[in-house]
Amino acid sequence: MAAARWLLRLLLPLAWARPAACTDPPGGGWLLGTVPEEQRCTVERADASLTYPLFLQRFAFSRPVILQGLTDNSAFRALCTREKLLAAFGSSPVRLSTANTYSYRKVDVPFTEYVEQLLEPQDPGRLGSGSGSGVPFHWHGPGFSEVIFGRKRWFLYPPEKTPHFHPNETTLAWLHHTYPTLPPAERPLECTLRPGEVLYFPDRWWHATLNLDTSVFISTFLG
C-alpha cells in the first residue's frame, strides 16, 4: 500500500506539465536498432485520468500498466543526448555487469570507452551492450521504468508463472530460440516502451527487457 501511494504521489503532480520544445538530434544521437517490436502490445495503458483509488484497485498489487502523459522530462532528456553525456561524464567510471539473471561479473570502465567501443548491436550468441542487449528474466519488489531515449521491449509473467529460460541466456537469444516455441497461453505479457512512457510492475513479477535501440532510461524500485 505504501509503495503504491508513494508512486502516485510522485507521478500525479507532474501530470499537468506541458512538454517543452525539443531540438535534440533524432534519438538523442544514440544508435537505432533493427530488433522488431511485438506484433501486439498486451500490457494495459493508462493516462493522467487514472486516479489513485483506481490505480490501487486495478494495478498496484495485481498487474503491470504503462502510464502515459504523466511526466515531462524534457529538461532531463536534453541532458541525456550522446554528445552531452560524453561531455559531462566521459572520464567517469561506469560499472558493467554481465547480461544474465544473476549478474555474476562486474567490470568498471570509463564512460567514453563504454559508449564508443562497447555500444554496438548485440550478437545473439554472446553477452554485450547496445541495441539487442537487455536483462533476462528475474524478479524483485515493485517498481517503474521510464524511457528517455530509444525503445525498450518488456516481457512479464505473474509471480506464480515461472518463465522458461536459462539464466545465462540473453534476452535476445531467448526471443530467437524459446519465444517462438511457446503456445499462446504460455506467452508473457509484452509491450515496447517508448520515450516518455512509464511502466509500473507489481511485486515479484517476473520480467525481462530487450533494448530495441540503444536506450537511456530510469528505473526505480519501491519497497
Q: Which pLDDT score, from 0 to 100, does residue 104 have?
A: 62
Residue 206 in grid coordinates = 517476473
> In angstroms, rounded to a whole number, what is the distance separating the alpha carbons of residues 121 and 123?
7
The predicted structure's pLDDT at residue 18: 36
pLDDT level of residue 213 (50, 70, 90 thresholds): very high
Percent of the chain predicted with pLDDT > 90: 60
Q: Is the pLDDT of residue 184 over 60?
A: yes
pLDDT at residue 23 greater than cutoff 50: yes
Q: Which of 2-6, 84-88, 103-107, 218-222 has the lowest mean pLDDT?
A: 2-6
Amino acid at 7: L
pLDDT tier, 212 (very low <50, low <70, confident <90, very high otherwise): very high
Note the pLDDT of residue 1.
Answer: 45
User: So what's the pLDDT on residue 17?
Assistant: 35
Contact between 211 and 145 under an 8 Å Cβ cutoff? The reply is: no
- The reported pLDDT for the residue numbered 168 is 81
* Average pLDDT estimate for 64-76: 90
